[in-house]
Amino acid sequence: MLSTFITNTNPNILYASALPPDWPGGFWSHMLIFIVILFVFVILGVMAFIYIERRVLGRFQIRIGPNRTGPFGIIQPVADTIKILIKEDIIPQNADGLLHLLAPAIAFIPTLMIFAVIPLQNGVALVDLNIGILYIVAISSVSVVGILMAGWASNNKYALISAMRVIAQVVSYEIPLALSIIGVVLLTGNLSMNSIVESQNIPFILLQPLGFIIYFIAALAEINRTPFDLLEAESEIVAGFNIEYSGIKFALFFLTEYAEALAISAIIATIYLGGWRGPLLPPILWFLIKMVAVFILIIWVRSTLPRIRIDQVMGFAWKFLLPLALINLLITGLQVITLPDLSQWVIVAINFVVTAVLILFWSKFYRLTGDKKVEV
Amino acid sequence: MTFKTEPFVVNAGPQHPSTHGLFRMRFTLDGEVIQDVEPVFGYLHRGIEKLAEGLNYTQDIVFTDRMDYLTSMSNNQAYVLAVEKLAGIQVPERAEYLRVIMTELMRISSHLMTVGFLLNELGAFMTPLLYMFREREKILDLFEMVCGQRLTYNYLRIGGVSQDIPEEFLPALKRYIDSLPGFIAEYDQLLAENEILLMRTKNIGILKRETAINCSVSGPVLRASGVNWDIRKADPYSIYDRFDFDVPVGSVGDIYDRYRMRIEEMHQSIRIIKQAMAQMPSGEIQSKVPRVLRPPKGEAYGHIEAPKGELGFYLVSDGSTNPYRFHVRPSSFINLQVLRELMTGVKIADAIVIFGSIDICLGEVDR
């Protein structure tokens, strides 16, 4: 049961503090209402992100982006959604009908579930699980099953290649991703998302610069964004796993893709950027600003970098990110044990130097280009 | 326990984002690795060679525009060169200079597109391509100023060019040519030091020198493999012997070298255009050519260094107004002969990039 995980009995934390403490119906009523709130948050967030992405990408690519539908094209995502939803739902003749139908739901639901533990402001979350970050790591890798199902059930070769790629990629990047999070957990001594935010007197991006870089790169691979967008490498395998999807099923996959980006932005904002904490502005606004900032960074990467090949993607995870994540974990552990009384700003300085040295050293040590000499 | 396995055949095309038109490659895959590739041509076949035999020499210029639609000026140049050889027509000085300027601009435009599409295929989502389009747009504006067209120019005529340049053309060209090296250098700096770009292109898709020569490959693809062969130097046509320029030559023959060749050639084209602008005489732009051209019986082959390689036209005249035989040596088509050689044993992602680095135009391959 869910309630067995909830050991924190502080009502202000357990129930959303945005709701009155004597909210009728207690826990389950809170659950019901908060699920609706989160669902609306995700849908609106995805729409906003699609709009932001198209506009910002347009600026990067010296063009304007959508600006016809509504003021500044702001309701373009609505128009897109309506267009997608009224398309005919096609199931290929030799497809596995059941899997084809289930795949979008299995991909989307875990992504939605990530938001259950993300604190929108102090204590405002569906549940403040005491294993929050572990729950996120666990649940976020489920949606890849949906993508594999979609790739297999479509009975399409491009889709199958895409599914094969994504399984290898996501499973590999789970490891550096989880290891870099453990660095944060060592600092807080707590897995709950709300406590992680509360313990960030200095944002963890400063205390854990290497961890942040590893997490950001691995997260890009997790959500299949450039330069790890092998999943839907348009110039190679056309559209990848969703090539045979149309109508509302395609809309669900599209929603999943952006909800994952939303989730990653929210997680980075929470565990590395100090979540809802910040001066002057209301906490929820700080949270949203940090999320959008992370997302714009993701768009920046997307508009700039070419794609990596599949074997290079795997090599990068195992030979570059994994050792660095382990070293980061070791250094953080040593710092937590041996230097507990040192000023945090000194540790910030140490960690930045260590990060720069490690990355420079490791990129000399392991060159992705290889030193293979070829005779002509 | 053994598993029964069988090769996995994937069709890339004829509708595929990276085939530059209607081209189809049947990949036989082992996982991600390509074991065999079978190119399938002909989806864009319009029978230009046969159609051209039904029209007279001047009318045929229009067909050459529509072969490689990204390098129309160069196609015009190759064709009129062949006709001028066939009929023994002299071209006025000023027209030659105009031709050189136009074809070199066309080369820059074509190479910009090649580099842009190559990077797009590498997965840099549209951004480099749109920057390249921005620069190409200015070249199209210049062409529009000269001949009123933006894609199929039909500017060159047998024995000259169709019209003289307007007054404002040369200042506009000078402004553009002065700004271009900075743009290319800036962009090259952004890309050439990008680790992902390097690891996707270095030592991949190596075309060996012997293979390149044996398959009759030409243009930047051949030069990237280390063969110094540029028709502008090897068999100077028009007035190319008057200009001072270098022929960039690669050393490895991989995708990166082919990419570099295009960047270097743009710089060389800029040099040629600058010299041509400085030397340009005034005078006639069209020599006296009979309205109905009846070349003497015989045959002629005119070839130029088009942006994509050697483009040749072989014409046979039977003394009538129409060519008896109109044969094209298409650079794109012949460069494609090394496709299987290059693609066997690489991964799908590399195969697409190799295809992009050869730089073909399906309008010319299928004609």
Over range A92-110, report the average pLDDT: 86
In the block, which residue shows the tokens 């070298």?
A: B257
Over range B96-118, report the average pLDDT: 89
* Torsion (CA) A335, A341, A346, A348 in degrees, nearest 10: 50
Structure ipTM: 0.79
- Which positions ≥6 away from B113 have C-beta within 8 Å? B70, B132, B133, B136
Three-state DSSP at B315 gives strand
- Using 50, 70 and 90 to split pLDDT, how confident is the model at A121? confident
HEC profile for A11-69? HHHHCCCCCCCCCCCHHHHHHHHHHHHHHHHHHHHHHHHHHHHHHHHHHHCCCCCCCCC
In this prediction, residue A26 carries a pLDDT of: 67
Residue B93 has pLDDT above 60, yes or no: yes
Q: Average pLDDT of chain B?
A: 86
- Using 50, 70 and 90 to split pLDDT, how confident is the model at A22? low
Residue A77, token pair as written in the block: 């995502």
Q: Is A300 on the interface with B (CB under 8 A)?
A: no
Contact A170, A141 (CB under 8 A): yes
Q: Is A155 on the interface with B (CB under 8 A)?
A: no
Give chain B positions within 8 Å (CB) of A314.
none
Give chain B positions within 8 Å (CB) of A227.
123, 196
B347/A302 touch (CB, cutoff 8 Å), yes or no:
no
Burial A128-149 (b: 16+ CB within 10 A, else e): bbbbbbbbbbebbbebbbbbbb
Give chain A positions within 8 Å (CB) of B131.
61-62
How remote is the C-alpha of A123 from its chain's centroid?
21
HEC profile for B146-157? HHCCCCCCCCEE
Q: Is A151 on the interface with B (CB under 8 A)?
A: no
Half-sphere exposure of A4 (CA within 13 A, CB side): 1
Q: Is A158 on the interface with B (CB under 8 A)?
A: yes
Give chain A positions within 8 Å (CB) of B192.
none
In Å, how far is B119's CA from the nearest CA of chain A?
A: 7
B252/A158 touch (CB, cutoff 8 Å), yes or no:
no
Give chain A positions within 8 Å (CB) of B8.
157
B226/A376 touch (CB, cutoff 8 Å), yes or no:
yes
Residue B286 DSSP class: B
In angstroms, the CA B157 to CA B274 distance is 24
Give chain B positions within 8 Å (CB) of A303.
125-127
How remote is the C-alpha of A332 from its chain's centroid?
23
Q: Is A86 on the interface with B (CB under 8 A)?
A: no
Give chain A positions within 8 Å (CB) of B225.
376
In this prediction, residue A17 carries a pLDDT of: 45
pTM of the model: 0.84
In percent, how much of chain A has pLDDT > 90?
1
Angle, helices A143-153 vs A97-114, to 10°: value is: 160
User: A26, exposed or middle or buried, with CB in 10 Å at 0-12, 13-18, 19+?
Assistant: exposed
Residue A14 has pLDDT above 60, yes or no: no
B127/A304 touch (CB, cutoff 8 Å), yes or no:
yes
Residue A273 DSSP class: S
Q: Is B327 on the interface with A (CB under 8 A)?
A: no
In angstroms, the CA A233 to CA B352 distance is 11
What is the amino acid identity at position B167?
E
In Å, how far is B200's CA from the nearest CA of chain A?
A: 7
- Which positions ≥6 away from A121 have C-beta within 8 Å? A17, A18, A276, A282, A283, A284, A287
Residue B318 has pLDDT above 70, yes or no: yes
In this prediction, residue A315 carries a pLDDT of: 81
The shortest CB-CB distance from B253 to any of A62, A63, A376 is to A376
Residue A279 has pLDDT above 70, yes or no: yes
Q: Report the candidate in A308, A216, A368 with the shortest Cα–Cα distance to residue B124.
A: A308
Residue A99 has pLDDT above 70, yes or no: yes
Residue A147, token pair as written in the block: 């993508």
In Å, how far is B357's CA from the nearest CA of chain A?
A: 14
Q: How many CB atoms lie within 10 A of CB A322?
A: 18
Nearest CA in chain B to A239: B17
Q: Which helix (H) or strand (E) holds B317?
A: strand B309-317
Q: How many CB atoms lie within 10 A of CB A363?
A: 12
Q: Is B18 on the interface with A (CB under 8 A)?
A: yes
In angstroms, the CA A100 to CA A248 distance is 12
- For chain A, what are the domain ranges? 87-363
Chains A–B, number of C-beta pairs less than 8 Å apart = 105
Task: State pLDDT tens for residues A329-375.
Answer: 898 888 888 877 777 777 788 888 888 888 888 777 666 544 444 43
Burial B319-345 (b: 16+ CB within 10 A, else e): eeebbeebbbbbbbbbbbebbebbbee
- As beta bridge partners, residue B304 has B311
In this prediction, residue B193 carries a pLDDT of: 76
Residue B172 has pLDDT above 70, yes or no: yes
Burial B53-88 (b: 16+ CB within 10 A, else e): bebebbebbebbbbbbebbbbbbbbbbbbbbbbbbe
Task: State pLDDT tens for residues A173-223.
Answer: 888 988 988 888 888 888 888 888 888 888 888 888 888 999 999 988 888
- Judged by CB atoms within 8 Å, which residues 333-352 of A form the interface with B? none
Residue A24 has pLDDT above 70, yes or no: no
In angstroms, the CA A111 to CA A143 distance is 7
- Judged by CB atoms within 8 Å, which residues 192-251 of A form the interface with B? 226-227, 229-230, 233-238
- Judged by CB atoms within 8 Å, which residues 202-221 of B form the interface with A? 202-203, 206, 208-209
Three-state DSSP at B160 gives strand
Residue A320 DSSP class: I
Half-sphere exposure of B204 (CA within 13 A, CB side): 26
- Using 50, 70 and 90 to split pLDDT, how confident is the model at B8? confident
In Å, how far is B242's CA from the nearest CA of chain A?
A: 34
Taken in order of first residue, the domains within chain B and their CATH numbers are 47-366 (1.10.645.10)
In angstroms, the CA B122 to CA B128 distance is 11
Task: State pLDDT tens for residues B249-285.
Answer: 888 888 888 888 888 888 899 989 988 888 888 888 8
What is the amino acid identity at position B203?
N
Residue A13 has pLDDT above 60, yes or no: no
Q: Is A164 on the interface with B (CB under 8 A)?
A: yes
A227/B196 touch (CB, cutoff 8 Å), yes or no:
yes
